[in-house]
């Protein structure tokens, strides 16, 4: 299942990330993904492993994967 919602101004995608266990983990992942050009909001939830990303256009999954790797976690894929 791919969770993606498009509106005229934004694209929302939900990714699964493994290894997050606390608020610090959420902050690390959110911070790295927020640096991707076009990202307007990120919400990571450690308890579910889901990261919701709102951006101005669809994101390159390789860029999201690189950001998650930089934070020290693994992108599993789309939720």
Q: Are 68 and 58 in contact (CB under 8 A)?
A: no
| Residue range 17-70, pLDDT digits in tens | 999 999 999 999 999 999 999 999 999 999 999 999 999 999 999 999 999 999
Please tell me the predicted confidence (pLDDT) of residue 2. Answer: 44
pLDDT confidence bin for 79, thresholds 50/70/90? confident
pTM given for the model: 0.89
Is it the case that residue 74 has pLDDT exceeding 70?
Answer: yes
The CATH T-level fold of domain 6-78 is Alpha-Beta Plaits (3.30.70)
In the chain, domain spans: 6-78
* Cβ neighbours for 75, distance < 8 A, ≥ 6 positions apart: 15, 16, 17, 61, 64, 65, 68, 69
Return the exposure string of 3-38: e unless at least 16 CB atoms fall within 10 Å of the residue's CB, then b: eeeeeeeebebbbebeebeeeebbebbbebbeebee
Please tell me the predicted confidence (pLDDT) of residue 7. Answer: 64
pLDDT confidence bin for 3, thresholds 50/70/90? low
Q: Are 16 and 73 in contact (CB under 8 A)?
A: no
């Amino acid at each position: 299942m791919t969770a993606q919602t498009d509106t005229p101004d934004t694209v929302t995608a939900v990714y699964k990330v493994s290894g997050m266990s606390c608020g610090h983990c959420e902050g690390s992942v959110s911070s790295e993904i927020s640096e991707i050009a076009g990202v307007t909001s990120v919400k990571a939830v450690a308890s579910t492993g889901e990261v919701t990303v709102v951006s101005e256009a669809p994101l390159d999954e390789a860029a999201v994967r690189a950001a998650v790797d930089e934070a020290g976690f693994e992108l599993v894929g789309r939720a």
